[in-house]
Copies of this chain bind each other. A is one copy, B any other.
Amino acid sequence: MTAVETLTYPDPAAACDLASRNAERGALVTLFGTCTVEYEGRAASSLGPGDRHVMLKPDGAALVHTDEGQQPVNWQPPGCDHSVTVDDGTLVVRSTRSTPDESLEVAFETVAHAAAFDVSDSADLALTGTEADLKERILETPALVEEGFTPLATERETAAGAVDVYGEDSEGRTVVVELKRRRVGPDAVGQLGRYVEALERDLHADSEVRGVLVAPSVTDRARQLLARKGLEFVAVEPP
């Protein structure tokens, strides 16, 4: 049975005991209450008093959530060291790391709830509909790119990075395929352009290299950019 330990309206000392003891143990700890948050590292931020939900994960991640937004208002990535203390009667959670030097400090005016959960999770997420799946589809049915297209390699290295699918057309010309699982903008065109240029330099100067962007759709600007650079677009819906 998944073990749970909770306290409602604990005093700072009791909340500190629960949090630090369980975090040490490798449990997932949550705290809810009125707090301020200070962050300093790659950037710096300050957040005045308000009610927030703080989560300390066994892997060293820390998350501070407000009532709004999918993203935490403040956080610390996995690998950080957490400490929970009582300073001058207030509960303070600190999470720090080096490389880069970053620190997060949550100071609780009041703690409304503290909880610790024993988490056991061995399951892996099975995700489909990614770019990797699109690549599989192209390799299975190369004609989706164009009749007579022959894939020769995936992740082929160039001076500009790895090409998604590398192959040749029915006339034997080199074809670079860049895959995107969703509608693309100018950035993807630039990426494809860099691969094409790199291959034109790598291979002989005389060899023509075609660049094909495979995606569900493109924006106007991206289409213009493709035209200007002599690159092509093929619409392929994701699986």
Residues of A bordering B, CB below 8 Å: 1-4, 6, 8-9, 28, 30, 32-34, 42-53, 55, 57-59, 61, 63, 65-70, 73-78, 110, 112-113, 115, 117-130, 159-161, 181-182, 186-187, 190-191, 193-194, 221, 225, 238
Contacts and interface: CB of A to CB of B under 8 A. Distances in A.
A63 to B, nearest CB: 7
7 contacts: A1-B110, A28-B53, A32-B117, A44-B129, A51-B120, A63-B65, A112-B117
User: Which 9 pairs show the lowest CB-CB distances between chains A and B?
Assistant: A43-B129, A50-B121, A190-B190, A48-B123, A67-B119, A45-B127, A50-B123, A2-B112, A51-B119
A122 to B, nearest CB: 6
Contacts of A70: 61, 63, 75-78
- Choose among A43, A47, A75 the residue with the greatest number of B CB atoms under 10 Å from its CB: A43
Identical chains in the assembly: 2
A2 B44 contact: no
Q: Per DSSP, are chain A's interface residues mostly helix, strand or loop, or mixed?
A: mixed
Nearest to A194: B186
Contact of A194 (B50, B129, B190): B190
Nearest to A28: B67
A34 B1 CA distance: 9
A66 B186 contact: no
